[in-house]
Structure 1
């Protein structure tokens, strides 16, 4: 039995409350595709019965599972080349100069999905900044989906995944083939860790970050959610740090907190000190 319009409305509101992810009514069919496995695991005969369970018992774990299933997890290695060029040519050289005495670097890949962005950053650093091999460098990837966090931690990718965006020379240099899969090398893996975090809620305990990549996330947040997120990100950043958003995203909701700069065909943001 198909869901009613009111059931779809309930599901959209649930996802919005749990993750600040806005699902447009035109995409209601996504609920059928992504929630059917959850309905089966929960013992529901169909999606309508699942909605009934969610309304009646309000089990927190089931609500989280619905929100995680509806989270967009599309990603690839070195997704969108311009930001990575900007990191290589402008931001990382500046950070290296700024952190020469401390010799530490903390980078946050927010909404890291299955880990490709974090591992791409680690490969970029290993490839172009060999002087950092003696530094304390840590890249923290976070995501709202516990399933993709576990996937990222394994560091194992199928052929189709490594063929999307990963240059062949980096594939053979920083990954090891194991049957039909490729595994991230110990050197790259040691630079990365992955945590569960909901960007629409208070963050878990994390270090102060020198660089934050918050890419292709804001499109799914309502205006109030973006303001809340920018406020939390600001507090999590070093005052002389850097923020990188997606190519079509802007920090328009927090222009008083961040100043915008342009380099290598992309924009990046700097915290306004003392805000």
Structure 2
């Protein structure tokens, strides 16, 4: 039987590997999510897995534990109001700002299985046909190698396309393949997915016009939240936009960002941009 000491060790391991702060009330998640990791390590239960992690310090298993405990909750067009603000306020302003270069870069940070990035791509196709002639790239990054691979495949189960995706967009932008739905090539080609830990050194990334960092910061300790926001600020164009989750704020970063409101939602701009 897994002891409180074992759970405490696992929480500490996940925090050190990914800055994901897991509350003790969620200890039982370890039991279900780490069962495949235990099998990978050649043991039959969580208690023995902790023993392996402590004795042998296997880097690949430490990383696998952290990835397994990442919250991969997502859906197409998750939360209506932020997408309305992007469609009605942010994108028209960006199109005006970038009308000369015709280059647009968007970052879906913590992209999970890709629905957020692909929702943005479909929105651009659906509402902004002018962008068909632009150089548009949407980059999704996530801590989990499994999730970035899944996102790149762009093939979703019925339960996934039934969450948040209007039926007309399913028919217009997906092709049915057996019991799954695959995004059409022109949508897939707009998106690229990379492995990245927001709390560690990031891969080489461009400067972005729009960054979505939604429902991520709330899992980080306060110090890590401030550090991540500094990294985001460095990668955000001075005229760019940052969208956080509805329950998140850029606290302790008022020297970097200022808040604006639109369409019943809010977003952030660089504090230096007026």
Smaller-chain TM-score range?
Answer: over 0.9
1:273, distance to aligned residue in structure 2 (A) = 3.0
Cross-structure match for 2:42: 43
Between the aligned partners of 1:221 and 1:127, the Cα distance in structure 2 is 35
Structure 2: where are the runs of 5+ without partners?
A: none
Would you say the 8 A contact 2:254–2:271 is kept in 1?
no
Q: How do 1:91-102 residues align onto structure 2 when only pairs under 5 Å count?
A: 91-102=90-101
1:73, distance to aligned residue in structure 2 (A) = 0.2
Q: Over residues 128-154 of structure 1, what are the superposed CA-to-partner deviations in whole Å (9 max), with x where a residue is unaligned?
A: 000000000000001000001100000
1:3, distance to aligned residue in structure 2 (A) = 1.2
TM-score, length basis structure 1? 0.98
Cross-structure match for 2:11: 12
Between the aligned partners of 1:45 and 1:96, the Cα distance in structure 2 is 55
Between the aligned partners of 1:34 and 1:157, the Cα distance in structure 2 is 21
TM-score, length basis structure 2? 0.98
Q: Is 1:189 aligned to 2:165, yes or no?
A: no
Between the aligned partners of 2:39 and 2:247, the Cα distance in structure 1 is 37
Q: How do 1:1-275 residues align onto structure 2 when only pairs under 5 Å count?
A: 2-273=1-272
SS of the equivalent of 2:252 reads helix
1:202, distance to aligned residue in structure 2 (A) = 1.6
4+ long deviations beyond 6 Å: none
Between the aligned partners of 1:209 and 1:203, the Cα distance in structure 2 is 14
Between the aligned partners of 1:253 and 1:143, the Cα distance in structure 2 is 24
Between the aligned partners of 1:202 and 1:41, the Cα distance in structure 2 is 27
1:53, distance to aligned residue in structure 2 (A) = 0.8
Aligned length: 273
Cα RMSD after superposing both structures: 0.8
Between the aligned partners of 1:273 and 1:267, the Cα distance in structure 2 is 18
